[in-house]
Chains A and B, each alone.
Chain A
Amino acid sequence: GESVGLHLPTLSVQEGDNSIINCAYSNSASDYFIWYKQESGKGPQFIIDIRSNMDKRQGQRVTVLLNKTVKHLSLQIAATQPGDSAVYFCAEPRTPYSGNTPLVFGKGTRLSVIA
């Protein structure tokens, strides 16, 4: 079935290095993706989104890249800080009238920042 998945369950990076978290999706018609950050004991927090008419979108210290050819997106975090330690999810909102779940999540990647 259709899914949005993560390549790696855990990622450890040195403080100050760049982090790259990957996500693959299977539905070639998918047109909108969101990255969420979930810290321990908290709900998922919106980080950045991207629509299929874009290949790249930048935020503050974060960049999302979308490769529609291979159905892959990635979240890049520049100069990773201890506060970036969290679980990161890619998610795909679905059209609400389609009868689908409104938001399909991958299982998440746990990012650990080593001071």
Chain B
Amino acid sequence: KAGVTQTPRYLIKTRGQQVTLSCSPISGHRSVSWYQQTPGQGLQFLFEYFSETQRNKGNFPGRFSGRQFSNSRSEMNVSTLELGDSALYLCASSLASGGATDTQYFGPGTRLTVL
């Protein structure tokens, strides 16, 4: 079974631009979560989507948004990029089998650099 895939793998943008990252979950997985990873802050939760609805949200400004499509694929968008948005953005998927704690499987990440 194919793992979680993320595109693009690398991205360079300038301040003020916006960016869209894409994630395809493992087949059959219904939940997609996004995380930001930086050396200083570690892994920080952005949001989680399940059945095209945002189920949980972390402590990030409104410039960070996302969505999930009917095939469970997800996108996240960052508008008005700031230098501090430079990070590895990770997507994780899980079965979301019914409320029990669930194992999340991660994609390779998208490395975003903001100049």
Interface residue ranges, A against B (CB under 8 Å)? 31-32, 34, 36, 41-46, 49, 89, 93-97, 99-103, 105, 107-108
Q: How far is the CA of A1 from the CA of B47 in the complex (A)?
A: 20
| A-B contacts at CB below 8 angstroms, number | 66
Q: Is the CB of A94 within 8 A of B101?
A: yes
Which one, B12-20, B50-58, B62-70, B73-81, is touching chain A?
B50-58
Q: What residues of chain B lie closer than 8 Å to A45, measured between beta carbons?
A: 106
Q: How far is the CA of A89 from the CA of B35 in the complex (A)?
A: 14
Nearest CB in chain A to that of B55: its residue: A96
Q: Is the CB of A44 within 8 A of B90?
A: yes
Q: Is the CB of B42 within 8 A of A93?
A: no
Q: Is the CB of B108 within 8 A of A93?
A: no
Q: What residues of chain A lie closer than 8 Å to B107, measured between beta carbons?
A: 43
User: Can you list 14 A-B pairs, Cβ within 8 angstroms, ordered by A?
Assistant: A34-B104, A41-B111, A42-B109, A43-B92, A43-B106, A44-B43, A44-B90, A89-B43, A95-B99, A96-B56, A101-B48, A102-B45, A102-B56, A105-B42
Q: Chain B interface secondary structure, helix, strand, loop or mixed? A: strand
Map CB proximity to A onto B15-45 as digits: 1 under 8 Å, 0 otherwise: 0000000000000000101010000001101
Contact of A103 among B42, B45, B55, B108 (CB under 8 A): B45
Shortest distance in angstroms between A45's beta carbon and chain B's nearest beta carbon?
7
Q: Is the CB of B103 within 8 A of A93?
A: yes
Q: Is the CB of B109 within 8 A of A96?
A: no
Shortest distance in angstroms between B93's beta carbon and chain A's nearest beta carbon?
11
